[in-house]
Amino acid sequence: MLTPTIEFPHFCAQCEDYPCVESCSFDALSVSDETGAVIVDKEQCTACGQCIQACPGRIPHIHPTEKYAVICDLCGGDPQCAKVCEEGRWNVLWVVPKPPSSSYKLYARRPKEITEDLAKNLYGEYGKELV
Protein backbone atom coordinates (compact mmCIF):
# COMPACT_ATOMS: atom_id res chain seq x y z
CA MET A 1 0.00 0.00 0.00
CA LEU A 2 1.29 3.46 -0.87
CA THR A 3 1.23 5.95 1.96
CA PRO A 4 1.37 9.65 1.07
CA THR A 5 3.91 11.72 2.97
CA ILE A 6 3.49 15.20 4.32
CA GLU A 7 6.08 17.88 3.61
CA PHE A 8 5.41 21.22 5.24
CA PRO A 9 7.82 24.12 5.76
CA HIS A 10 8.28 25.24 9.35
CA PHE A 11 9.33 28.86 9.75
CA CYS A 12 10.64 31.04 12.51
CA ALA A 13 7.78 33.11 13.96
CA GLN A 14 10.15 35.99 14.85
CA CYS A 15 9.01 36.11 18.50
CA GLU A 16 9.25 39.61 19.91
CA ASP A 17 11.20 38.39 22.97
CA TYR A 18 13.51 36.09 20.94
CA PRO A 19 13.85 33.18 23.40
CA CYS A 20 16.37 31.48 21.10
CA VAL A 21 18.70 34.50 21.22
CA GLU A 22 18.30 34.84 24.98
CA SER A 23 19.11 31.15 25.49
CA CYS A 24 22.42 31.18 23.61
CA SER A 25 25.34 30.95 26.04
CA PHE A 26 27.85 31.58 23.26
CA ASP A 27 26.54 34.90 21.85
CA ALA A 28 26.12 33.18 18.49
CA LEU A 29 22.64 34.59 17.88
CA SER A 30 21.63 38.20 17.36
CA VAL A 31 18.69 40.12 15.91
CA SER A 32 19.00 42.11 12.68
CA ASP A 33 18.15 45.78 13.22
CA GLU A 34 16.87 45.98 9.64
CA THR A 35 14.62 42.91 9.38
CA GLY A 36 14.13 41.66 12.95
CA ALA A 37 15.37 38.25 11.80
CA VAL A 38 17.63 36.06 13.94
CA ILE A 39 21.19 36.01 12.64
CA VAL A 40 23.48 33.04 13.40
CA ASP A 41 27.22 33.62 13.76
CA LYS A 42 28.51 30.31 12.41
CA GLU A 43 31.92 30.83 14.00
CA GLN A 44 30.48 31.33 17.50
CA CYS A 45 27.80 28.63 17.33
CA THR A 46 28.70 25.31 18.96
CA ALA A 47 25.55 23.42 17.84
CA CYS A 48 24.60 22.86 21.49
CA GLY A 49 20.88 23.03 20.71
CA GLN A 50 19.92 25.46 23.49
CA CYS A 51 18.16 27.66 20.91
CA ILE A 52 16.08 24.70 19.71
CA GLN A 53 14.91 23.90 23.24
CA ALA A 54 14.10 27.58 23.95
CA CYS A 55 12.08 28.06 20.74
CA PRO A 56 8.34 27.57 21.31
CA GLY A 57 8.05 26.06 17.81
CA ARG A 58 11.34 24.10 17.95
CA ILE A 59 12.16 25.66 14.57
CA PRO A 60 15.99 26.02 14.63
CA HIS A 61 17.84 22.92 13.59
CA ILE A 62 21.48 21.91 13.39
CA HIS A 63 23.05 21.96 9.93
CA PRO A 64 23.38 18.33 8.78
CA THR A 65 27.11 18.48 7.94
CA GLU A 66 28.45 21.54 9.79
CA LYS A 67 28.21 22.50 13.45
CA TYR A 68 25.88 25.50 13.64
CA ALA A 69 22.21 26.27 14.13
CA VAL A 70 20.10 27.11 11.09
CA ILE A 71 17.37 29.72 11.55
CA CYS A 72 15.61 31.63 8.75
CA ASP A 73 17.26 35.02 8.33
CA LEU A 74 14.54 36.27 5.95
CA CYS A 75 17.17 36.55 3.19
CA GLY A 76 18.04 40.05 4.35
CA GLY A 77 14.40 41.16 4.11
CA ASP A 78 13.70 39.63 0.70
CA PRO A 79 12.61 36.02 1.42
CA GLN A 80 13.47 33.91 -1.59
CA CYS A 81 11.20 31.01 -0.56
CA ALA A 82 8.14 33.24 -1.02
CA LYS A 83 9.39 34.40 -4.44
CA VAL A 84 10.02 30.85 -5.66
CA CYS A 85 6.62 29.75 -4.37
CA GLU A 86 4.90 32.57 -6.25
CA GLU A 87 6.90 31.96 -9.44
CA GLY A 88 6.04 28.25 -9.28
CA ARG A 89 2.37 29.21 -8.82
CA TRP A 90 2.05 27.13 -5.67
CA ASN A 91 0.86 30.25 -3.83
CA VAL A 92 1.24 28.86 -0.34
CA LEU A 93 4.00 31.18 0.94
CA TRP A 94 3.88 34.94 1.03
CA VAL A 95 5.34 37.77 3.06
CA VAL A 96 2.87 39.21 5.55
CA PRO A 97 3.66 42.41 7.43
CA LYS A 98 3.33 42.05 11.18
CA PRO A 99 0.24 43.77 12.55
CA PRO A 100 1.35 46.30 15.19
CA SER A 101 -0.82 44.89 17.97
CA SER A 102 -0.27 41.16 17.59
CA SER A 103 2.33 38.66 18.70
CA TYR A 104 4.02 36.36 16.23
CA LYS A 105 4.50 33.91 19.09
CA LEU A 106 0.86 32.92 18.54
CA TYR A 107 2.03 31.18 15.36
CA ALA A 108 4.94 29.35 16.98
CA ARG A 109 3.86 25.72 17.00
CA ARG A 110 5.99 22.62 16.92
CA PRO A 111 6.48 21.11 13.47
CA LYS A 112 4.87 17.81 14.53
CA GLU A 113 1.69 19.62 15.62
CA ILE A 114 1.43 21.53 12.35
CA THR A 115 2.10 18.41 10.29
CA GLU A 116 -0.51 16.41 12.21
CA ASP A 117 -3.13 19.12 11.60
CA LEU A 118 -2.23 19.29 7.91
CA ALA A 119 -2.46 15.50 7.51
CA LYS A 120 -5.84 15.44 9.25
CA ASN A 121 -7.13 18.29 7.03
CA LEU A 122 -5.89 16.59 3.86
CA TYR A 123 -6.71 12.96 4.64
CA GLY A 124 -9.28 13.04 7.45
CA GLU A 125 -8.86 10.73 10.42
CA TYR A 126 -6.62 8.49 8.26
CA GLY A 127 -4.11 11.36 8.23
CA LYS A 128 -3.22 10.81 11.89
CA GLU A 129 -1.61 7.51 10.95
CA LEU A 130 0.64 9.19 8.37
CA VAL A 131 2.60 11.27 10.83
49 has pLDDT over 60: yes
Q: Which of 46, 38, 34, 42 is nearest to 18 (CA)?
A: 38
* pLDDT at residue 53 is higher than 90: yes
Does the residue 120 lie in any domain? Answer: yes
Number of structural domains found in the chain: 1
Domain hosting 83: range is 19-130
State the chain's mean pLDDT as an integer: 83
Contact criterion met (CB below 8 Å) for 15 and 57: no
CATH number, position 29: 3.30.70.20
- Reply yes or no on whether the pLDDT at 17 is more than 60: yes
User: How many whole angstroms separate alpha carbon 66 and alpha carbon 54?
Assistant: 21
Round to whole Å and give the CA distance between 39 and 75.
Answer: 10
Distance in angstroms (rounded) separating the CA atoms of residues 13 and 56: 9
| Domain assignment present for 125 | yes
